[in-house]
Structure formats: structure tokens, C-alpha cells
Structure 1
Amino acid sequence: MKTLEPTTDIVDIMDVIEQLCGIQVDNRKLYLLEHRFGELMREASYSSYAELARCARDDRGLQQQIVERITTRETLFFRDGSPFQALQHKLLPEIIDARSTTRFPRRLRLWSAACSSGQEPYSLAIMIRELLPDVDRWDIQILASDISSTAIAQAKQGVYSEHEISRGLSPAQLHRYFRKEGSQWRVQDKLRSMIRFEERNFLQPFNTVGLFDIVFCRNLAIYFSDCNRRDLFSRIADQLVDDGLLFIGAQEYHADMSERFSMEQHCRATVYRPKKRIPQNRGLG
């Protein structure tokens, strides 16, 4: 495979990518540009990456094509199973107990922040339905968001191939929550009704999404610069309730989490809780 050199030509499109979606392409992964943009360059007859970058700055359609091609959508149901086990066997029961004396004892809010083609939010919905026998009496909403409009469209549709459906689901879960349609499987409405899908750029403010008990933001910030990563986690902390939970990817570390979180270990999973803010002393008078 040909390795690209970080010339000025390449740097131009790298800058555009980071400005559009926060993804930082380092020198070790420059081959991704050739692999993912080669066809686009040929179809539109761009003479260089600099020309592609220049055209993209004023063309929203081209910007979306760039985002679609650079984002990664590799996922599976119940990916890295320990977070789901920690939630099901310890953390979610604790949250339910804590909510029992509040004004909204049967309300839960979850956010699958980088949901890709939908396997993660559907996995969360399955876990909740298997934990709560009276789940239909609860007010449960799962926000599933992604920057990729293609990924969101597939997630909304909830239709998966035999290969996709075989990754992470037990036979019992498959037949309980999906129905066969030819060579594919479709999510049942009892799962889909728990989830709201939304296209969202993670560089933009989160002040319209509400507060959450649980946020999954896995394998997204690993592609961000240090500055964008710290900013992302700080903004997520603002969207968590005081005893909320954040799960990040296995390759993302506490050092990247800013000073807003404390780390805990449960059922072989690492989870982060927002630290309570200390009110600032505004002085007298």
C-alpha cells in the first residue's frame, strides 16, 4: 500500500477534515486519504487534495461527502461486553434505586453519542428490556446520534444482514427482538420506539440535548486532537446528572478526560462519573 507524505497538499485536506468533524489524521494514517478519497478525486476530476480542500470550504454537499468517507462505522452488538455487564448487574440497578425517591422514579435518559449504524443503542434497549420486567411502564428515552447521515439512516431503518446480526447477539435475543425479512433481520418496534436518532456534529454545542443518566461515547474522541478531546468530555460532563455515568472506548484513557471526571472499575469495565463542581466564591456585596 502506498504511503502518502505529509506535503502541503495533504495538510490542506487534513485541516478541512479536522475543522468539519474533529477527526485528526496523523502521519501514520495518511494512506486513509488515498483509500477513502481516491474515488471521489477521480469522479470529480480534482487535480490535487489542495483543490479538493479549496472546493470543500464553500460546498456543503462536498463537506458531507468528506465526512461520510472519513468516518469509521465498524461496530457490533454489545461491543466490548463489559460495559453492558457492569450496567446490567450493578450500575443500572443502583441508578434505579437512587431514582425511586425522586419526582421521576421511572424515568431514564441514555445517550449513544456516536451510534454508527445503530448496534449500540439497540444493545442498550435490549439490556434495559431484559433488566426491567415492567419496562413498558417506564419513561425511557435513548438518544442515538452520529455525524454521518448514512449511518443514521441505516440505524433508523434497523435492518441488518446475517453477518451483522451474528456479531454479539444471542439466538434468544435475535428471535426476541428482531424479525426475519428475506435474507435480513429488522429490529422490532418495541426496541425502535425507545430510541430517537439524530445527526449531530460533536464539535457543536450540546445545550439542546438535555441531561442524561448514562452516556456512551466510545471510540470517537480517540481520533480527536488533545484540545478537542478535552473540550468534548467537558461538554459531556455538563450533560450528565450529578450521579450520571460515562463510558468511553477501551483505548481511551483517564488522562484524556479533563478534570471533570473520576474513574471507577466495575465488572471489568471502566466508568467515569462527573465530579461535583465547587461553587465559586463571588465575594460579598
Structure 2
Amino acid sequence: MSLTIGDIDAVCNLVNDLCGICLDSSKSYLIESRLGQIVEKHGCKDYAELVKKVRLGVDSQLTNQFVDAITTNETLFFRDKYLFEAFQYKALPELIDARGKTAFPTRVRIWSAACSTGQEPYSLAMTIAEMIPDVHRWDIQITATDISDAAISKASRGVYAKHEIERGVSQERLKRFFYPEGDGWRIRDEIRGMVSFNRKNLLEPLGQTARYDMVFCRNVAIYFTREVRQDLFRRIAQTMVSDGYLFVGAQEFLADVGPNFTPHQHCRSSFYRPNLTAPVPHALVRS
């Protein structure tokens, strides 16, 4: 089924409304390859009719299929090793030292936004387990979210095929943090227990009451318009503690976001600190 200019415009507008992702006519191949089967499955005469059905909002399953198909779920364990080195050798030790002066010295809260199928949050959990020998005594919570129900479902299972494991997981980590299941590998409970998975659309209110020590929002905002991107990171800043850390993709820069974040360099990688005026509440500081 060939795409018309009207079809492309209709799909691109819907994708932008649902996900904030900015597509154009140059992505016609992506639209056809990812949505063609859905058009046929639901008996639509063209892509415009599929868009109309999704916009009606009466079939949540169809909407989920549309979002799952169009969003990019390409990821791997320990993606961008320099970022994970900055996390392991700079940000995490600094955070541990800072929390040691508060009333909750073993509490760490991390948000993995747009976590896809779970490789990022599990990589963070494995790194923390390597850095903290008695991690089972700590109050570690990694909140992992994604707009795709299918991605969240797979991530929650914590089972990965051989080729997924081979992309980033060393033999040492494989032996320590996974065990074989069928033709693949399942993440061990000590790592799975640190992570909770939930569906979240970053265009919607973030609705956080507790603040995060670290936020990882990588390789998703690059698909947003400048205005949506700026708004997202302003809202993310409000979810973070005043001495928190923000990690974005290797090719992402927040110079145009405004005064919300200050860049820092370490291990050939960049991270950002929020520029918030609110100090750590006195109730959290040890006398």
C-alpha cells in the first residue's frame, strides 16, 4: 500500500500528538515498514483511515499497537561506556558521599526515562551492585518508564535472548547477574528487585512527589521539537533533588534549554547538575 502526501501528514501529526516525536516526509519508509501490517490487520483502506481510528480513542489496543510500532526500541546493555564510567566513578561515589551526611545515608532514587526494554535500568542496577558490596542493605529504587506497553512488558520479565546479552554484557557480569532460561538469560532477583517498571508518556505531567537523585533521559528528546524538548527538561529539573545528576545521550546538549542545568565533564562524557535554589531540607541533614 503506497503512501500519499496526505497519509504522511496525517501519520506525522498523530505521532507528534501522541509521542512528541517529530517526523516528516523523509521518514516515509519508516511509516510503511512499521505501520503497514497494522493498516492491513485492522482492515483500513489507507494510512489516513488508521489515523482516524486511533484518534477516535475507542480502541486502546490499537493505540498501543500504533505507539509500540512507531517508537524506537533499539537499545543495549551499558550503551555508551563513557557515560557509565562517569556514573560509576564520578556521579555515584559523589552521591554516596553526599547522602552519608543526611538522615537517609543509604537511600538512592533514580529515574530511567524512556527505558525501552530495560537494558539501561538493569545496567544501572548492576553497576550499583558492583560499587556497593552490601547493596542488599540499601534502599535503592530505580524507576524505569517508557511509552510503549510492549517494551515495559518485556523489561519487566527481565529475560533476554543470547544476541541481546552479547551486546554489552561481559562474561563476568553474565555469570554474576544472570542465569540461563530456555534459549536466553534471565536477570537475577537481586538486580530485578531494584527496578520498578511503569508506562509513562513524557508529554504528560510527570506527577512526581518524591525527588530523584539521578535522571537518565537519553536519546529520546532528540526526536522532539525544540519547544517540547525545552519544556521536558524544565519539568525534569523539578523532579530532581538540588544536588542531583542528569544524564542525556552522547550527542545531546542542553545549551538551549536555559539556566536549568550546568554541564560537567568526566570520563569523556557529559552530565548535568540542576540549578535549583532550594537547599536540602533541614530534616534530612544530620546534626
TM-score (norm 2): 0.92
**Match of residue 202 from structure 2:** 202
Counterpart in 1 of 2:151? 151
User: How far 1:233 sits from its partner (Å)?
Assistant: 0.7
> In the alignment, which residue of structure 1 is the partner of 2:281?
none
Correspondences of 1:48-63 after superposition (within 5 Å) = 48-59=46-57, 60-63=60-63
Q: Please say which of residues 265-274 and 250-259 is displaced more in the overlay.
A: 250-259
Q: Is the aligned partner of 1:100 residue 2:100? A: yes
1:255 and 2:255 matched? yes
Instruction: Give the whole-Å Cα distance in 1 for the aligned partners of 2:141 and 2:239.
Output: 15
How far apart are 1:277 and its partner, in Å? 4.0
Partner of 2:113: 113
Distance 1:155 1:129 in 2: 19
The separation in 2 between residues aligned to 1:10 and 1:45, in whole angstroms, is: 18
- Residue type of the partner of 2:119? Q
Deviation at 1:254, TM superposition (A): 2.3
For residues 126-145 of structure 1, the aligned pairs below 5 Å read 126-145=126-145
Q: Partner residue of 1:178? A: 178
Aligned-partner Cα distance in 1 for 2:142–2:104:
16
Identical counterparts, % of pairs? 50
- Residue 4 of structure 1 contacts residue 31 of structure 1 at CA under 8 Å; is this kept in 2? no
Corresponding residue to 2:38 among 37, 40, 43 = 40
In structure 1, C-alpha distance between the alignment counterparts of 2:175 and 2:2, rounded to whole Å: 46
Q: 1:209 Cα deviation (Å)?
A: 5.8
Note if contact 2:8-2:25 (Cα within 8 Å) is conserved in structure 1: no
- Whether contact under 8 Å (1:3, 1:30) holds in the other structure is no
Letter of the 2:245 counterpart: L
Relative to structure 1, the CA distance from residue 269 to residue 3 in structure 2 (aligned partners, 3 Å threshold; closer, same or farther) is farther
Amino acid at match of 1:8: G
**How far is the alpha carbon of 1:55 from its aligned partner?**
1.3
RMSD of aligned residue pairs (Cα, Å): 1.8
The one-letter amino acid paired with 1:220 is: V
CA apart distance, 1:27: 2.8
Q: Counterpart amino acid of 1:122? A: Y
Q: Which runs of 5+ in 2 are unaligned?
A: 279-287
Runs of 4+ in structure 1 off by over 6 angstroms are: none
User: Unpaired runs of 5+ in structure 1?
Assistant: 279-285
Mapped contact 2:118–2:144 kept (Cα < 8 A): yes
The structural deviation recorded for 1:183 is: 1.5
Q: Cα deviation per residue 1:163-217 (whole Å; 9 max; x = unaligned)?
A: 0011111101001000012321001000011111101111111123621111110
1:269 aligns with 2:269: yes
Assess if the C-alpha contact under 8 Å between 1:20 and 1:63 holds in 2.
no
Q: Is the 8 A contact 2:221 2:229 kept in 1?
A: yes
Go from structure 1 to structure 2 and tell me whether the alpha carbon gap of 1:97 and 1:203 turns closer, same or farther (over 3 Å shift).
Answer: same
Does the aligned pair in 2 maintain the 1:107–1:140 contact within 8 Å?
Answer: yes
The TM-score with structure 1 as length reference comes to 0.93
SS, match of residue 255 in structure 2: helix
